[in-house]
Amino acid sequence: MQTSRSTALVAVACLLGLAGCNGNGSSGDDTGPDQSTRTSAAPDLEGAVPSGDWWCGLIDREIVEVATDGRTEEAREVLRQNDEEGYLCEVVLPVDGGPGTEPVLALAVQINDEAAADAARQEAESAPGAGPGPDYLGESFVMPGHTVSIVPCGAPVGTAEEGSEVPYVFSLRASSESGGQLTDELVDPVRRSLVQVDQTVGCSPSTADGSDDSSATSAP
């Protein structure tokens, strides 16, 4: 296992580079960048606009453009979960002008969650257009609007399973009608999240070796 495993795993977002681990806490109430980044539309809308083109740290702006039907200026990213059990960052759009929102993209990492892994397998068995994902995602499934990867990775430090591998479920789901037409486009953000976790705690199969291309590290 990599030596970085000896460093306490404060939050999954620290692993993925999706949130600043600056002492602001790791609860789902963390809404990311300064709220001054919001646009004039729906100023009381929850969440924040990223300072660059990467949403939730790993989702390309072009994917967000499709999933939001071009409403990127109205979209926000919201950190729902950020702890040793998992990570969830959503891209949301206002409903009826806000302040209520609905998710259009959800990037998630679920740690040591066999139920989530089984649910993903069952969904892939019945989902139209579902098929196996690329080998570098381990046990994975690609279907319209959803990509999921199930990979053994190092358990978070401080948990009962520390020092062993537990199942991690990486996924990106698009819930909008337009996002539901996306398939191959959703693979790379999942790959990026797996690479980041692999580089921190180690995963099997490894995706952070020399075979990985530069696109895996082009996100901030």
pLDDT of residue 4: 34
The Cα 78–Cα 132 span in angstroms is 30
Q: How confident is the model at residue 217 (pLDDT cuts 50, 70, 90)?
A: very low
Residue 156 · residue 111 · CB < 8 Å? yes
Q: Where are the alpha helices (DSSP H) in the chain?
A: 12-16, 61-67, 114-126, 187-201
Domain ranges of the chain: 3-217
Helix, strand or coil for residue 7?
coil
pLDDT of the residue at 14 = 57
* Three-state SS at 136: helix
Tokens of residue 132, six digits: 């196996």
> Which pLDDT does position 201 carry in this prediction?
87
Predicted TM-score (pTM) of this structure: 0.79
C-beta separation of 75 from 68 below 8 A: yes
Residue 154 has pLDDT above 70, yes or no: yes
Stronger pLDDT, 74 or 219, i.e. the higher one: 74
Pairing of strands 131-132, 101-111: unpaired
* Chain segment 5-29, per-residue pLDDT in tens: 333 234 455 555 444 443 333 333 3
The order of strands in the sheet holding 146-154 is 76-83, 86-94, 101-111, 165-174, 146-154, 139-143, 131-132
Q: Closest Cα to residue 205, out of 159, 165, 171? A: 165
| Length of the chain counted residue by residue | 220
What gap in Å lies between CA 167 and CA 154, rounded to an integer?
9
